[in-house]
Amino acid sequence: MAKNNCLILHRKSANRPEVKEAVRAVRAKGIKLRVRIPWNKKDKPRVVREALAAGAVRVIAGGGDGTLNAVADALVGDGSKTPKAAMGILPLGTANDFAHGCKLPVEDLAACLEIACTRDPRPIDVGRMNGESFINVASGGFGAEITATTPVEMKKRLGGAAYTIMGLIKAFDLKPYEGTFEAPGESPVRGSMLFMAVGNNRLAGGGFDVAPEATLDDGLLDVAMIRHREGSAMGKLAQELKNPTDPANEIVLYRQLPAFTIEADEAFHMNLDGEPNLAHRFEFSMLTRHLEVVY
């Protein structure tokens, strides 16, 4: 059992009754747990550093996938050193894709918190994109653009169907991104892209299996890409999405790689564990089995 557990709790979740009850339940079992509440997103790295300086050997991220990303990124730093503490998970977001992908009992917060405090950690891979870390999924293309630029009220009116790939294609008139895909030891591939997901884990977007072959400790990033083809029928796309790893697919591309680069003719949006980024070039790499996570 960890001697020093520190829960980094998203500020908006701090007063939720079920969160307070989970903390009480864990402490009632004799598990020592400190709770820290960062003031905002930018304050999270400082709070993580202070927890480590105070001797924390297990830092628990209490929040959604964005909070998990912030805590993981603070623990990993520039990736040159092994993190000093393991990371636990208290899933408090709307989707909790990473926690679901890890098969945690997301609906039972007390059980999740006890697991985070007591279960042995396991080393997982950490994805890197342009010097930033991610542990779940980076998604790019027009889906990420809509997430970053569409007003909240419009998203509500569109409903959940708009967040499926098919729904997005039908609902928005967006031009594909032209660019180049480069992998070490391979010839660059030039083409048009509508959507892509880079998975360290499997799930994104509220439970969509965007990287079905991804595992957390194989040293590979799973790249799922929907390419633009003039005149391609929606039916063909729907058929290929049923078996995205089929090498015979013409629209859906699925690769497993330790590193690669995407360079677009125009800047495009990429969500990193749900956090938006905008750039022309995205360099992806992997830190193999670099961060210990409890799940």
Active-site residue flag, 275: yes
Q: What is the DSSP string of 123-170?
A: EEEEEEETTEEESSEEEEEHHHHHHHHS-HHHHHHH-GGGGSHHHHHH
In the chain, which residues have pLDDT < 50? 1-2, 146, 148-152, 154-164, 166-168, 171
Q: Which residue has the tokens 């029928």?
A: 233
**CA distances, 145 to each of 53, 175, 292 (Å):** 39, 11, 32
Strands 275-293 and 260-272: antiparallel
pLDDT value of residue 242: 83
The kind and range of the H/E element at 241 are: helix 234-242
Distance separating alpha carbons of residues 29 and 68, to the nearest angstrom: 25
Q: Quote the pTM value.
A: 0.87
Domain spanning 5-120, CATH class: alpha beta
Annotated catalytic residue within 178, 182, 275, 283: 275
pLDDT value of residue 150: 44
Distance separating alpha carbons of residues 287 and 30, to the nearest angstrom: 35
Per-residue burial over 34-60, b = 16 or more CB atoms within 10 Å of its CB, e = otherwise: ebbebeeeeebbebbeebbeeebbbbb
Residue 252 corresponds to which amino acid? V
Architecture of domain 134-289: Sandwich (2.60)
Distance separating alpha carbons of residues 79 and 291, to the nearest angstrom: 10
The kind and range of the H/E element at 17 are: helix 17-28
Domain boundaries of the chain, sorted by first residue: 5-120, 134-289
pLDDT value of residue 240: 86
Q: What is the largest CA-CA distance in the chain?
A: 64
